[in-house]
Amino acid sequence: MGLTEAEFRGLFDDHHWPLRAYVSRRVPNPADAEDVVVEIFSVVWRRRDDLPTAPSDRRMWLYGVARLTVVNHHRSTSRFDRLNVRLAAQASPTPVVFEVDEIADTSVAMEALALLGESDKELIRLAVWEEFSHAEIAKVIGTSTPNVAVRLHRAKRRLRREFDRLVQGSSGNGQVVGEVSTELTTEEETRR
């Protein structure tokens, strides 16, 4: 028998916010939490013929779907994080991202990058590792080219601060033992 589209809308209206709260307590990133809620209702629509008819059974069935969707989200996030770690270990971005002088251990540069927020890391990766122009990055992340220029400039400045802080901490005497250039070497940067 299943749900009609109108019944599905009513189910969504009745349960969206409670399920959103349930998911938010389990998925800390608000954007991810909303994606999980969307996935829950996608599953409900696909499995609408399995939906119990009694309201209390329906509610518990929805939470069962929510629980499994959250578990799947954590599993895929964990896989994605492990993949990023493996890729970072295999990559050799230091010669591209940094021009490091007098530093024996360039892992400090990667450590500095790891300390940045996800959006800063992604901007730097797109600009340096993928060699995307500001206009290309803007298309990828869904913003304007001038916004990318400003955000990338700030990300590079934060990267420089983190690098300097790590180097100063490891030198023991408070002096920077090497210099890092966060200037990008892409054609886009040299044209500006």
Q: What is the C-alpha radius of gyration for the chain, rounded to an integer number of angstroms?
A: 23
List pLDDT tens digits, range 1-20.
568 889 999 999 999 999 99
- By the 8 A CB rule, do 156 and 127 touch? no
Q: Looking at per-residue confidence, does 129 or 96 come out higher?
A: 129
Find all residues with CB under 8 Å of 41, minimum gap 6, and list them: 12, 16
* Residues 118 and 75 placed together within one structural domain of the fold: no
Task: Check whether residue 98 and residue 116 sit in a common domain.
Answer: yes
Please report the pLDDT score of residue 151 as a whole number.
92
Identify whether residues 163 and 123 lie together within a single domain: yes
* 139 backbone dihedrals φ, ψ, rounded to 5°: -65, -40
Q: Which two tokens stand for residue 32?
A: 């991810």
Q: Do 160 and 187 reside in the same domain of the chain?
A: yes
Q: Which residues face 101 on adjacent strands?
A: 179
Flag whether pLDDT at 27 surpasses 90.
Answer: no
State residue 86's pLDDT score. Answer: 67
- For 40-82, the pLDDT digits (tens) are 999 999 999 999 888 888 888 898 888 889 888 888 877 777 7
Q: Which pLDDT score, from 0 to 100, does residue 39 have?
A: 94
Indicate whether 101 and 187 sit together in one domain: yes
Cβ 109 vs Cβ 98: under 8 Å: yes
Q: Is the per-residue pLDDT at 30 higher than 80?
A: yes
Domain boundary among 90, 124, 143: 90
Q: Is the pLDDT of residue 140 over 50?
A: yes
- Rounded mean pLDDT, 8-34: 90
Q: Is 101 helix (H, G, I), strand (E, B) or coil?
A: strand
Please report the pLDDT score of residue 170 as a whole number.
64
Dist. CA 186–CA 168, nearest whole Å: 29
pLDDT of 1: 54
Residues 182 and 133 in one domain: yes
Segment 146-155 shows an average pLDDT of 90
Does residue 101 sit in the same domain as residue 19? no
In this predicted model, what pLDDT tens digit does every residue of 69-124 receive, in sequence order? 988 888 887 777 776 666 666 654 444 444 444 343 457 777 888 899 888 988 88
- Domain of 120: which CATH number? 1.10.10.10
What is residue 94's predicted lDDT score, i.e. its pLDDT?
A: 42
Same domain assignment for residues 85 and 99: no
CATH of the domain at 35: 1.10.1740.10
End-to-end CA distance of the chain: 63
- Regarding predicted confidence, which is higher, 37 or 164? 37
Q: What is the largest CA-CA distance in the chain?
A: 75
Contact indicator for 67, 59 with CB cutoff of 8 Å: no
The pLDDT value given to residue 59: 87
